[in-house]
Structure 1
Amino acid sequence: MTRTRRLLVAAAAATAAALALAACSSGGSGGGSGASTSSADFGYVNQGKLTIATAEPAYSPWVQDDKPESGKGFEAAVAYAVAGKLGFAKDDVTWVRTTFDQAIAPGPKTFDVNLQQFSITDERKKAVDFSSPYYETTQAVVTTEDSPAAKATSLADLKKLTIGAQSATTSFDAAEKSIAPTGGVQAFNSNDDAKLALESKQVDAIVVDLPTAFYLRDAELKKGVIVGQLPKVAGQKGDEFGLVLAKGSPLTKKVSAAVDALRADGTLDELAQKWLAADGDAPVLK
């Protein structure tokens, strides 16, 4: 082989190698099994999959029958709608479970996004990222017919009673600020624990978000009663739920854009109307 020929062959090989390297490192906008690049290039925790987390167990109306993979329940349906906007087919969605506290703690995550009624707060933003809000709600007081809280018609009526809520949540904060019960708010690890305490008369009433209040009243509690909604703080929005991502996740902007698109095209409103109850029979307490 002549020197000129050898140089031409070497140049062609170098060009081919450069093209191959460029193809391997090129970006893209979607995911799913049809994606031509590794999901790691986009910040996903599992190649070719969108890994979504929720609570264990997860309750209606957010997830029906603790089966998020069914897509039934408001948050399960929102999760698949977001996945679709990101370019993932339903079969390319993987579900994992975390506790509420694990999800909002600093550090690496086992999920790409997490939905379990996480209220967007400045304090939590120090540890994790949030998407744009996919739902806005208020907090409500729930009790049973045989509890003294059932006759309450004002915040003052509740102040002297025993009130419970899940710890480290906006429900707990709202109970402290709006009701400020004389004995303090009783803290529980989960809404389910708070509900059991109500049923066993350890507390007179509990505070949860409004859709959960309707579900507890209509499906979980025997003779459940919604006393009313806690008032919003003047000049502030209601409680906004966002998808949680790892702090600094490269997916945050994409997930927020997906949520914004679902809001703009009416999907979020349609899903809320389908899965969440209206608030007509839950008066605002004063």
Structure 2
Amino acid sequence: MNIRRNLLLASLAAVFALGAAAARAQDNVLRVATDATFPPMEFVENGKRTGFDVELVEAVAKSMGKQVEWVDIDFKGLIPGLISRRFDMAVSGIYITDERKKVVDFTEPYYAGGLVAMVKEGNTTIRKPADLDGKKISVQVGTKSVAFLTQNYPKAQRVEVEKNQEMFNLVDIGRADAAVTGKPAAYQYVRTRPGLRVIEEQLTTEEYGMALRKDTPELTRAVNAALAKLKADGTYAAIVKKWFSGSAATTAATPAAK
């Protein structure tokens, strides 16, 4: 009887030890969701996830002593997935907005951007933001662009697509007069696709933040502390320099006021 009891106790101890080890391992993992279709922020190249956001998150996690476990998801599912605890954080060129702040928390802004319009080089009907009204505009589902156009350009015809690339392609082939998207993605695209241009006057000036659940304030504080450390030791500036140049780098280093 004693032998059987001792074996049972030993088995239970082993189970508890394994459970504790698994819990410790999980504590060292930061599950981060992204929609890797938004170069230069996040995209897939040669089968590997890369980009400004990706490299910055990896550096943040390293500073926190954690490993990143990436979760790929469409942009429109980022906030709902975060709220439902599918992951710990969402980072995918997400603008900090009052509407989003009602349901999730954000880190301190880590990059300044804003919405811009992209058109074909020969387009003479759209020279300034006001010209967008009454035009056919492609936008990505779930992004700030959708609400912005609805509120500010009610006569514009929205063409909503799932992926950033689809949005740009519609302009390229003439099925949309313009695309409205984040400044980094628009400038990245026109650099690689001659014949397209970005309207010089921005539609908005906004800031990107990393989204976290409201019930994990300690994690938000830890990520903010890691970001501050990266800015202080030069790591952040090096990542910015790698992914952006000229005025973009200056903008990133000194975020614009909201």
What's the CA shift for 1:69?
5.9
- Normalising by structure 2, what TM-score? 0.75
What's the CA shift for 1:217?
0.6
Cα distance 1:50–1:166, how it changes in 2: closer, same or farther (>3 A)? same
Higher-helix-fraction structure: 2
Identify the match of residue 73 of structure 2 among 98, 105, 116: 98
1:262 aligned partner, one-letter code: L
Question: For the pair shown, which has the larger CA radius of gyration, 1 or 2?
Answer: 1
Which shifted more, 96-105 or 223-232? Answer: 223-232
| Partner secondary structure for residue 159 of structure 2 | strand
Matches within 5 A, 1:243-258: 243-249=210-216, 250-258=218-226
Matches within 5 A, 1:126-145: 126-145=102-121
Aligned counterparts of 1:278 and 1:200: Cα–Cα separation in 2: 30
* Contact residue 106 and residue 209 of structure 2 kept, 8 A: yes
Matches within 5 A, 1:52-91: 52-55=32-35, 57-66=36-45, 72-88=50-66
**Structure 2 unmatched runs, 5+:** 1-15, 249-258
Cα distance 1:94–1:155, how it changes in 2: closer, same or farther (>3 A)? closer
- Residue by residue, what CA displacement relative to the aligned partner does 1:196-232 show, whole Å, maximum 9, x if unpaired? 222232210111111101111112x351211223244
| Partner secondary structure for residue 65 of structure 1 | strand
Aligned counterparts of 1:216 and 1:146: Cα–Cα separation in 2: 17
Is residue 230 from structure 1 mapped to residue 202 from structure 2 by the alignment?
yes
Matches within 5 A, 1:208-219: 208-219=181-192
Identify the match of residue 89 of structure 2 among 113, 123, 126: 113
The residue aligned with 1:260 is 228
Aligned counterparts of 2:118 and 2:188: Cα–Cα separation in 1: 10
* Contact residue 28 and residue 65 of structure 2 kept, 8 A: no
RMSD across aligned C-alpha pairs, in angstroms?
2.9
Aligned length: 228
Higher-strand-fraction structure: 2
**Structure 1 unmatched runs, 5+:** 1-23, 25-36, 233-237, 281-286
| Partner secondary structure for residue 230 of structure 1 | coil
1:63 aligned partner, one-letter code: E
* Contact residue 165 and residue 175 of structure 1 kept, 8 A: no
* Contact residue 30 and residue 61 of structure 2 kept, 8 A: yes
What's the CA shift for 1:279?
4.4
- Residue by residue, what CA displacement relative to the aligned partner does 1:1-60 show, whole Å, maximum 9, x if unpaired? xxxxxxxxxxxxxxxxxxxxxxx9xxxxxxxxxxxx76857xx9x3432222211x4342
